[in-house]
Amino acid sequence: MKRQVDFLVIGSGVAGMSYALKVAEFGKVCLIAKNSLTDTNTSMAQGGIAAVTYSPDSFKKHIEDTMIAGGNLSNREVVEMVVREGSAQIQQLINWGTKFDKNKEGKYDLAREGGHSEHRILHHKDKTGEEIQRALTERVLQHPNIEVLEHHFAIEIITQHHLGKQVFRKDTDIECYGAYVLNLNNHNIYTVLARTTFIATGGIGNIYQSTTNPEIATGDGIAMVYRAKGKVTDMEFIQFHPTALYNPEERPSFLITEAMRGSGALLRNQRGEKFMNKYDPRGSLAPRDIVARAIDNEMKISGDEFVYLDATKIPEEELKNHFPNIYAKCLSLGIDIAKDYIPVLPAVHYLCGGIEVDTDARTSIKHLYAAGESSSTGLHGANRLASNSLIEAVVYADRAAKHAISVFKTIDFNTQVPSWNDEGTTHPEEMILITQEFKELRAIMSNYVGIVRSDIRLKRALDRLNIIYKETETLFKSSVVSREICELRNAINVAYLIIKMAQQRKQNIGLHYSISSESSKQ
């Protein structure tokens, strides 16, 4: 079955939906969600969205905070653009119905998080992402030009490879014509032809054992672009959130927002000792890479499985009002955060790399855009400043929309695209193999490609990954397409990119830290 749209959107988080709402004023949109429309990385964002709102804050301060957190690897032009354009996009979210918390004076109640020199985080309690998702979802479902396909999975973006044309003179010759999409309800595969395609598939957290990401985060968009010979960059920079709730029975890990440390919570080891000032003068409000490595080191020294976050000095009323979700969650586990320390440990939270894009969110593949966590814009450099992700997503979605609107009518549909060919494939007899290989992949990445790495660990990871890769590709070619086999295949591609780019990075900076690089200096 073939269908044609002006704008194909893969992913339903803040980037995908804000883009869809803007381009829908000019043409027909198809928006694809792997699960439900609201099952996204965005909906799980707790802390908030960073933007310059009131004095004494300034664009200059936000720009410098971002550059410092990124190890000065951030693209300054991009940082300045996002910071300066952010305010207008915040207003757009408000116009769409997002409600940010205000104080008694009627001003926005701005929080402060690690690495920020001022209070500049707009939030909705401790469920900011959920509030943004709610507002955008209502708008999207009401728009007559947006067709929403929930429980649909993009298998591959369509390029010349699918026309039997394998040779390109240069990277810029590759064009995107849409995507092959699997209906997870009836297992039919659609050929969706599009003048422009926008990837907003989120992060990669579920290739690790411990992550704050929802189950959808398997790097699907990044893997599709990599297989299509598009440019992917900076995959070694994976941010571990320092404070995920220690609860081994739960997946994904429950996040304890950084805003709690901004309100005065302190990190302690299991002996009750404050330890962060040994690692950084900013203490518990140091950037996430420093805090995560410090916690990792404390756990290795002591052999403990977690450290504590002490929020007992924050007034109980403030805890209940500002962090109701966290308060209720901990209480359900017998932890009264007004009186008890919260057990925490680092968990994979955010990818700073991804599909390389320019300032209009264009990828190296023609007619293909990307934004949000699946993209690499240059904003984050070696480490993301807290709460910069949502603002980046809406700014780049806006830029992508403006560019796509300006060109889409000049792009013809490629009617030569064949339907998906699954002749000769069968249902795999042992689905347990896919489940087992995913578990093995997560163990490889967690054990060898975590917060602290080494040349030996990375080589061992790559050797083991190659075995899983060969087995999975054989299975994919002989099996009827399923979500499970596609996710495993994508996750393996993404893991490969992370390992290879970590091997190539010889300098310890930001989120990449190798003991081999450290020892080579001595």
Taking alpha carbons only, the member of 47, 64, 55, 43 closest to residue 122 is 47
Which amino acid type is present at position 273? E
Which amino acid type is present at position 51? A
Of 120, 261, 288, 453, the catalytic one is 288
Which amino acid type is present at position 390? L
Instruction: Please list the residues that pair with 406 across neighbouring strands.
Output: none
Angle at 473 (CA atoms; ends 469, 478), nearest 5 degrees: 155
Phi, psi torsion values for 196, nearest 5 degrees? -135, 150
Which tokens hold the place of 14?
């803040």
CA distance 9 to 17: 8
Task: With H, G, I as helix, E, B as strand and everything else as coil, classify residue 356.
Answer: strand
CA distance 476 to 156: 13
Helix, strand, coil: what percent of the chain each, to 5?
40, 20, 40
Taking alpha carbons only, the member of 49, 50, 80, 48 closest to residue 63 is 80
Through-space distance between the first and last CA atoms of the chain, rounded to whole angstroms: 62
Q: How far, in Å, are 128, 132, 135, 386, 478 from residue 46 at the CA level?
A: 5, 11, 16, 11, 42
Taking alpha carbons only, the member of 40, 43, 46, 48 closest to residue 9 is 40
- DSSP annotation of 488 reads H
Taking alpha carbons only, the member of 123, 125, 41, 48 closest to residue 372 is 41
Sheet containing 238-245: order of strands: 238-245, 342-351, 307-310, 266-268
For residues 29 and 5, the answer to whether their CB atoms sit within 8 Å is: yes
CA distance 517 to 421: 47
C-alpha torsion 285→107→47→24, nearest 10 = -140
Tell me, yes or no, if 112 is annotated catalytic: no
The angle that helices 128-142 and 76-95 make with each other, rounded to 10 degrees, is 60
Taking alpha carbons only, the member of 185, 329, 138, 365 closest to residue 250 is 329
Q: Among all residues, which ones are annotated catalytic? A: 288
